[in-house]
Chain A
Amino acid sequence: KQEVTQIPAALSVPEGENLVLNCSFTDSAIYNLQWFRQDPGKGLTSLLLIQSSQREQTSGRLNASLDKSSGRSTLYIAASQPGDSATYLCAVDSGTYKYIFGTGTRLKVLA
C-alpha cells in the first residue's frame, strides 16, 4: 500500500530564503507525482506535475525533482515571498489517477 510522507510538517522562514520541501513514498512504481498548493479553507492548485520518466520540472521560482528509485521528490522554492505561505501537498499516482496525498508541509514566509 502506497504511503506518502512529507517533511517537515511545518516550516517558517524569513522572506528571500531558498527552501526545500521533501516528499517520500514507499512504492516506487508510480505513474506520476504532483505538487499542489492549498491555501486555508480553499481547494488545491496544481504547481508541478512530474511524470515517472522525468527527473524534474520547473515553473518560475519552483523546481520539483523526482527520484523514483529512492522514493523521493523535492520541491525547491527560490527567493521565498510572503505570498508563498500555504500548505504544500505532494500526491502520487500509481497509474489509476487515484492520487495518494502526503501529509503536507505548512509553510509560513515572514515579511
Chain B
Amino acid sequence: GAVVSQHPSWVICKSGTSVKIECRSLDFQATTMFWYRQFPKQSLMLMATSNEGSKATYEQGVEKDKFLINHASLTLSTLTVTSAHPEDSSFYICSATRVGEVSPLHFGNGTRLTVT
C-alpha cells in the first residue's frame, strides 16, 4: 500500500519550453505532497510543500514563478518547470504522506529532466 506514482520518469526538452511532472498517490489520499530536487551524487533538497487546495509553500531560494506547483486534488500534485534552462536539469522526486499520521513518507520514482 501507499504507492506514489510519478510521471514521466524521464524527459528531455529544449531550452525555453515548459515541462510538467505529475505526482499521484495511487491508494491513499495525500493532503500534503513534497517536491525535492537532487543533483548528481548529492542529497535531496526540499523545494516546496504542496497542500491540497491551497498555495504551495516554497523553501528559501526556490523561485515560485519558475517552479509552479498545483495540488488540485487529494491524489495529484504537479510541478511545472517553466521556461526551462540547462541548469534546471536535475532529478525531481515527489513524496506524499497522510498528515497527522506517523507513517513513512512514500516517494515517487523520480523524474530525470534534461534541458538541452
**Set B6, B44, B104: member contacting A49, Cβ < 8 A:** B104
Given A42-B109, A42-B110, residue A99 in contact with residue B46 (CB < 8 A): yes
Select the residue from A42, A43, A99, A100 with max chain B CB neighbours within 10 A. Answer: A43
In the complex, A41 has a CB within 8 A of chain B:
yes
Interface size on B (CB < 8 Å)? 25
Which of chain B's residues has its CB closest to A46's CB?
A: B104
Report B-chain residues with C-beta under 8 Å of the C-beta of A61: none
From residue B55, how far is it (CB to closest CB) to chain A in Å? 16
Say yes or no: A41 contacts B110, CB within 8 Å.
yes
From residue A5, how far is it (CB to closest CB) to chain B in Å? 10
**Set A46, A91, A99: member contacting B106, Cβ < 8 A:** A46
- A51–B6 CA distance with the chains assembled, in angstroms: 27
The 10 closest A-B CB pairs, nearest first, are A46-B104, A43-B109, A44-B107, A101-B43, A43-B107, A101-B44, A43-B110, A49-B104, A103-B43, A43-B108
